[in-house]
Amino acid sequence: EELEHKVEERTLALKQANDELRQRIDELTRLGNWRKKWFSHISHDLKTPATIAGGFIDAIIDGKVQPAHIPRYLDKISDRLWTINQLVQNLYDLSLLETRQTRLKPETMPVYALLERLLAKWNDPLVLKGRTLNYELPMIMDTPVTADVHYLGRAVDNVLDNAVKYSHPGSAITIQARMAPRSLLLHVSDCGIGIPSESLKHVFDSFYRVDPARNSGVPGSGLGLAIAREVLHMHGGEIHASLNENPGCTFTIEIPLEEVEPDVSQISKAPV
């Protein structure tokens, strides 16, 4: 009987070890797939602009471009280099945020002061490129809120950049601020091309772009909303996308009103 008991114990331990091993293998496979996905996206997204810029430079060196056209070519080269630079910067920022190597520098201020600082640059017609920006702000906004203005600004900018990029000149973008019992809600709505409902939950994944965006020539890397989501999570907040009844979509940013700790403990899982 004792022997039977021992065998049972051993079998159980073996089964547990087997399960753990299987879990580890699954984890490693997921990580390997994630690495492959990142490498293929990064190499593709860097290769395209680099090849085009290289082609223009070769054409100039080989004397195939008339001198009068050289400034136009230099402009195009500069555009491609800017794209590469943006991609590298976004990748770097996202990797620091995802691995929590970035610490927030929280500041406490009244809600109206935070909104002023977040939205100041959006009063400029140059950044709106022909879209109008409407505000719907509540009367009472002196509740204190704690946030890292730099990073939260990045998140809000990425959402507003998209509202501009994926809507038409002449259309309106609305920013609505609302006080919920424990959080400040910012709704950013546009009347643009919208997002298919099956893509709504994917738009925050790194490198994800809805097909029309990928194919329309609208520049982008699919990293802006992934950065925004990491920033909100580090604040203990959230970000969601939803569809409007009319064309267009609404992004809701939820910033908690309680104190934000500069947090390094929560390492987010690598997306698969």
- By CB under 6 A, is residue 221 in contact with ligand ADP? yes
Site for ligand ADP in 174-203 (CB under 6 A): 190, 192-195, 203
Distance of closest approach, residue 188 Cβ to ligand ADP, in angstroms: 8
Give the per-residue contact string, 93-132, with ligand ADP (x = CB under 6 A; - = no). Answer: ----------------------------------------
Q: Using the minimum distance from each CB to ligand ADP, give the nearer residue, 108 or 242.
A: 242
Give the residue carrying structure tokens 């702000």: 137
Instruction: Residue 163: count other Cβ atoms within 10 Å of its Cβ.
Output: 27
**Contact status: 163 vs ligand ADP (CB under 6 A):** yes
CA torsion 92-96-102-108 (nearest 10°) is 70
CB of 197 to ligand ADP, least distance (A): 12
Count the residues of the shown chain that bind ligand ADP, applying the rule CB under 6 A: 22
Q: Please, which residue, 225 or 260, has the CB nearer to ligand ADP?
A: 225
Residue 49 within binding range of ligand ADP, rule CB under 6 A? no
Q: Which of residues 230-269 bind ligand ADP (CB under 6 A)?
A: 249
Nearest to 158 by CA among 231, 95, 254, 101: 231
**What sections of the chain are H helices per DSSP?**
2-61, 70-98, 111-119, 125-128, 149-165, 211-215, 224-234
Judged by beta carbon, residue 114 or residue 223, the one nearer ligand ADP is 223
Which pair of tokens denotes residue 259? 């104190």
Residue from 83, 102, 158, 174 touching ligand ADP (CB under 6 A): that is 158
Cα–Cα separations (whole angstroms), residue 186 to 28, 111, 115, 156: 38, 11, 10, 9
Calpha distance 156→146 (Å, rounded): 16
Q: Given 3-state DSSP classes, what are the helix, strand and coil percentages for the chain, each rounded to the nearest 5?
A: 55, 15, 30
Shortest CB 95 distance to ligand ADP, Å: 15
Q: Which range of residues in 67-75, 149-157, 205-213, 253-261 is near ligand ADP by CB under 6 A?
A: 205-213
Q: Which conformational region is residue 157 in: left (phi greater than 0), alpha (psi within -120 to 50 degrees), or beta?
A: alpha
| Contact positions vs ligand ADP (CB under 6 A) | 158, 162-163, 166, 190, 192-195, 203, 208-210, 213, 220-226, 249
